[in-house]
Amino acid sequence: MDKNLKIAVAMGGPGSEHQVSMESGKGVLKALLDAGCDAVELIVKDHEINVTEGIDIVFNTIHGTYGEDGEMQSQLEKLGIAYTGAGSANSKIAFDKVLSKEKFIEAGVPTPASEIVDVTHGFIMPRMSLPYVVKPPREGSSVGVHICKTEEEAEAAMRDAVKFSNDVLIEQLIEGPELTVGVLDGEVLPIVHIVPRGGVYDMASKYSWMSEDGATKTDYYCPAEFTPEVTKAVQDAALKAHKSLGVEVYSRVDVLLDKDGAPYVLEANTIPGMTATSLLPKAAAVAGYPFAELCMKIIDISKAIQR
């Protein structure tokens, strides 16, 4: 990478993942500075990004609202400023679980059966049989996600989900190992096996450093120990999902295995966590990309794209 590039690391954002994004941004900034790059901090607090003159590229570490849904990308495109990661159109599709589900189905990506519940004209319950998972379609990092096995749990979950939007995604519950697979410039990275100690991979399990005790709540295994056949099936499904969304540069695809070892893709994250201990960097390190090298590779690939 050209070390003379002036890089602004965008972090924070107006969404529910602001603090997580700050950690990602600080991680990337430190890695770039330690590698001798010309990088500066750019904290975003609302739905507008203010890039100082002379910046060659914005390294986007804003998870969820604004940074991952295509809004910031669209603003930067209008300003003619380069940025890392997926473009505005594909970011919008990937961030929307309803739109991405449609793309998965069109492309033949294995994904759980689903139902969209429209609550525009009043509260209604899903038709799908329990157990299932209730998800707001346009929130990240498990925000508003509920596993429902009883009618009482389902109603409480729906009451919560409708706070976020007028449509709610209901997915068949797949009970089995939770996995995530990074894709970098078309290369599938080793699988990360996620094992939450409390049994559910929720916000508290993902971000234990944010809790009062800071105790580890999840174990991660990379490369995941599966048969070559299962490993290939999972990686193939992840790559197919990534391609079906047209995502540029990189993503991290979340996958579940059922009891028979068949993979089911949940979603693709276009701005995955980017601290040195986050899941995409874990997998990249196993594949031979130390954290600073990963960050610089993302910049190189992104800089070459014509927006």
Q: Is 141 a catalytic residue?
A: yes
Q: Is 293 a catalytic residue?
A: no
Q: How far is CA 166 from the centre of its chain?
A: 22
Q: Choose, from 269, 278, 289, 302, the residue flagged as catalytic.
A: 269
Q: Choose, from 12, 15, 17, 201, the residue flagged as catalytic.
A: 17
Q: Choose, from 70, 85, 252, 278, the residue flagged as catalytic.
A: 252
Residue 188 and residue 209: Cα distance in Å, rounded?
28
Q: Is 254 a catalytic residue?
A: yes
Q: Choose, from 96, 139, 178, 254, the residue flagged as catalytic.
A: 254
Q: Choose, from 21, 60, 141, 278, the residue flagged as catalytic.
A: 141
Q: Is 305 left (phi over 0), alpha (psi -120 to 50) or beta?
A: beta
Q: Choose, from 91, 267, 278, 302, the residue flagged as catalytic.
A: 267
Q: Is 66 a catalytic residue?
A: no
Q: Is 267 a catalytic residue?
A: yes
Q: Name the percent of the chain in helix, strand, coil, to the closest 5.
A: 35, 25, 45
Q: Choose, from 207, 250, 264, 289, the residue flagged as catalytic.
A: 207
First to last CA, the chain: 19
Report yes or no: 54 and 264 within 8 Å, Cβ to Cβ: no
β-pair partners for 42: 10
Q: How far apart, in Å, are the Cα atoms of 267 and each of 24, 62, 155, 238? A: 20, 17, 24, 9
Q: Is 17 a catalytic residue?
A: yes
Q: What number of other Cβ atoms are within 10 A of residue 3's Cβ? A: 10
Q: Is 273 a catalytic residue?
A: yes
Q: Choose, from 96, 201, 273, 278, the residue flagged as catalytic.
A: 273
Catalytic residues: 17, 141, 207, 252, 254, 267, 269, 273
